[in-house]
Structure 1
Amino acid sequence: MNFRDAYSDDYNSEDTEKIEIKKLEVEEEPLDPKIAEAIFCFNKKWKTGISLLESEGIITQDKKSIANFLFKYNDKLSKSELGEILAGKDDNVELLIEFTELLNFTGVSFAEGLRSYLTKFLLPGEAQKISRMMEVFAGKYLKDNPTTFPDTDCAFILAFALIMLNTDAHNPAILEKDKMTKAQFVQNSRGTWHGNDPPQELLEMLYDEIVGNEIQMKTKGDPDKKGWVKSIKGSLFEQNKRWLCLIGNELRWYKNPTRGRPEDPEKPLGYIKLEYVMVNEMDDRFCISSTLPKNIEFYVYEEKKPVAVTTLQFEITCESAAQVEHWAAAVRKNVTFEVEPEFDPKHYKKPKSKAKNFKKTKKF
């Protein structure tokens, strides 16, 4: 497969489904108590968790044994601790290589392969560690798609360039006029393939993929997804152009860009809990509604206090259909059904809105 095959018109987001665990299947059965305890310890400090796993005989000191466990229970392990253990020290990348070998990038576009890879762990902040991880990724991607790049170095340089582009394109602190253009990205990449230029078609396609759909590279405490939307609406309540932050099973909106951390000066204008809800997509918006036979509830801050508002569905309008798809997918992933719902169908009555101030549509 060459890059034209990987970026053909037939390519779509469904290709990411090809990125699957090659050798392992995640078990759906309840966790063994020993494994559950080890995961709990790992998420606080990876060294403690690994030591417990070794002492219980669940893994050995062999790097392949450790990698298999980290991959099998990836969705239950702390991404920040995973980033620390996989990044390794100095040039020790044996564990990272074994872990990366469990991914299959065959037939997947370079940008989508990188996007999937970076969902498995939290990328460390140190440039040296990022460099090691990108080098290992580049090697595995080229191994699975041997005709896409001249060699690993060329793939590595482009992977690093995409991370820089992703930061530039999606950092709200960088003004639109200062962001890298497609022409600048192509120009900056010239001569990086051992003195030759990468195919312009490839560079332009990669630019469009990254700018159109952010690679979510979180640091500790960052939201799962963030960005501008055109408007939000529920019942008679409506606000234009808001900054959304998806944090766990809560969707919050703000007036200005923020990471949504408690210490940030920008405070939320409101939020909606993603418990027992479903997400439906329309042309330019996605809607959140309850899976229970009742209205959904969201909260708006009035004088620093949350006021409950009930509505049949909560609508979020986006700038494009692609943005709708990306947001809807992220929100669905964070919906929870763990808390016992406070609802008795036998005594159900249509809830009344507690928000007395929303008799008329609010627009800002």
Structure 2
Amino acid sequence: VQLLDFHHLACDEALRYFLSRFFLPGESQMVYRVLERFSVRYARDNPEDGLSSDQVLTLAYALVILNTSLHSQQIKPTDRMKKADFVDMCTKGGVPVGTSRLEEMFDRVHVGPFKPSFSAGDKVYGRLARDPKVIRGHAMAKTTPVDVVLLKQGSQF
């Protein structure tokens, strides 16, 4: 986090930039710790916003909840968070950000989800790094001779 620059970015834009660098873990305690680090850095980089790191943490968590609500296929379209619900959640959570700014954040999250921006090759190598059995087990049994040649040539097929 210390290597990233969040100066003059809205909180949702900084969070999108931050989360484009890795996959957010699924465990809530780990998500909390990641967002906590982000919040400290964002508050330090943007003192003109007047937000404490705790307030940024609350807003960042609300943005992650919003992102999940709007973009998860497991949530029915009728159950997705509405703009007024997001503004209300942030306001009741003690985030001193104006309604218009919160609505702008909602609109930007609505346009596209927070997601890592990796190339296809990065995804393959990341998966192999996490689970080397992918190379050994059934995955290698399904490869074709052409796949093996491309892999040996360093192709990111």
What is the TM-score when the length of structure 2 is the normalising length?
A: 0.70
Q: Secondary structure at the match of 1:150?
A: coil
| Runs of 4+ with deviation above 3 angstroms | none
Which of the numbers 181, 184, 209 marks the counterpart of 2:82?
181
- Aligned equivalent of 1:146, options 47, 72, 79: 47
Pick one of 97, 100, 103 that aligns with 1:198.
97
The structure whose RCO (Cα within 8 Å, separation 6+) is larger is 2
User: Is residue 2:59 matched to residue 1:167?
Assistant: no
| Aligned match of 1:123 | 24
Correspondence 1:1-364 to 2 at 5 A:
100-193=1-94, 197-216=96-115, 248=120, 339=155
In 2, the alpha carbon distance for the partners of 1:113 and 1:101 equals: 13
- Is the contact between residue 192 and residue 198 of structure 1 (CA under 8 Å) also seen in structure 2? no
Cα 1:109–1:197 change in 2 (3 A) is closer
Q: Supply the AA of the counterpart residue of 1:210.
A: V
CA contact (8 A) 1:138 1:155 kept: yes
| TM-score normalized with structure 1 length | 0.32
Q: Aligned partners of 2:64 and 2:24: how far apart in 1?
A: 11
Which letter maps to 2:14? G
The aligned length equals 123
Q: What are the Cα deviations for residues 171-194 of structure 1, in whole angstroms up to 9, with x where unaligned?
A: 12222111111011111222322x
> For residues 144 and 197 of structure 1, do their structure 2 counterparts lie closer, same or farther at Cα, with a shift above 3 Å needed?
closer
- Equivalent-residue separation in structure 2 for 1:217 and 1:166 (angstroms): 13
What residue identity is the alignment partner of 1:200? T
Distance 2:4 2:13 in 1: 13
SS at match of 1:104: coil
Letter in structure 2 aligned against 1:157: T
Q: Where in structure 2 are there 5+ consecutive unaligned residues?
A: 122-153
Q: For residues 149 and 197 of structure 1, what CA distance do their matches in structure 2 show?
A: 9
Give the secondary-structure state (helix, strand or coil) at the position aligned to 1:147: helix
Shift of 1:208: 0.5
Give me the whole-angstrom Cα distance separating, in 2, the residues matched to 1:170 and 1:151: 28
- Cα distance in 2, alignment partners of residues 149 and 159 from structure 1: 15
Matches of 1:125 and 1:144, distance apart in 2: 27
CA offsets 1:75-97 (integer angstroms, 9 cap, x no match):
xxxxxxxxxxxxxxxxxxxxxxx
Could you tell me whether the CA contact under 8 Å between 2:51 and 2:96 is conserved in 1? Answer: no
| Distance across 2 between alignment mates of 1:215 and 1:126 | 17
Distance 1:180 1:119, change over 3 A: same
CA displacement 1:48-70 (0-9 Å, x = unmatched): xxxxxxxxxxxxxxxxxxxxxxx
Deviations 1:83-113 (A, max 9, x none): xxxxxxxxxxxxxxxxx11111111221121
Structure 2 equivalent of residue 60 of structure 1: none
> Aligned with 2:24: secondary structure?
coil
Query: Which has more helix, going by share of residues?
Result: 2
